[in-house]
Amino acid sequence: MKHIRIFLSILTLFLASCKSETKQALKTETVTFTKEGELSILTTGTDSLKAKFDIEIAETDYETETGLMYRQSMEENQGMLFIFPNVSSRSFYMKNTEFPLDIIYVNEEMKIVSFQKNTKPYDESSLPSNIPAKYVLEINAGLSDKMQLQVGDSIAFTRK
């Protein structure tokens, strides 16, 4: 009986150390930006160009779950576009995201429907769309205000 307890204690320690090593490996992995397309933001009514971004596209389950996590920064002209298979209420959070973002929710007609501005790094609070969306654009915090984005402005994107 004593040998079984010792074996179980050693096994527990071994499994715990393996688990922590895996988590540590994830945190130290460097993720770099990969341009997969270009995105334009257009003014409502006039369709004049407000901004242009190089974008990464997140559309697989892994890509949408990971997003911009584990990255230290992003250039001002870069963003991540999430493409979902359906229109639905969306909610994002900043878990393991190291820099503040503006999160822009976009409907199936490519119109901006809502924002979450100047999000707080590492915050796990829900950041909902409040209106159904098919696309979500993440850009550096403050850019939405700098470009004077408004609900009703639109996006257009192309893949590389």
- The kind and range of the H/E element at 64 are helix 61-66
Q: What confidence category does residue 1 fall into, taking pLDDT thresholds of 50, 70 and 90?
A: low
Query: Is residue 69 within 8 Å of residue 90, measured between CB atoms?
Result: no
Check whether residue 104 and residue 69 sit in a common domain.
yes
Let me know whether 91 and 66 are in one domain: yes
Residue with tokens 């959070």, as numbered in its chain: 93
* Contact by Cβ (8 Å): 39, 53: yes
* CA atoms of 73 and 118, how far apart (whole Å): 14
Residues 17 and 84 both lie in one domain: no
CA distance 74 to 91: 21
What pLDDT was estimated at residue 31?
80
What's the average model confidence in pLDDT over 42-64? 96
Once rounded to an integer, what is the mean pLDDT over residues 144-148?
Answer: 97
Instruction: Kindly state the average pLDDT of the residues 57-80.
Output: 95
Q: What percent of the chain has pLDDT over 90?
A: 79
Cβ atoms of 24 and 33 within 8 Å: the answer is no
Residues 76 and 113 in one domain: yes
The confidence score (pLDDT) of residue 7 equals 44
Mean pLDDT across the chain, nearest whole number? 87
Considering only 12-21, 30-39, 91-100, 104-113, which range has the smallest mean pLDDT? 12-21
| Domain of 22, in residue numbers | 1-30
The domain tally of the chain equals 2
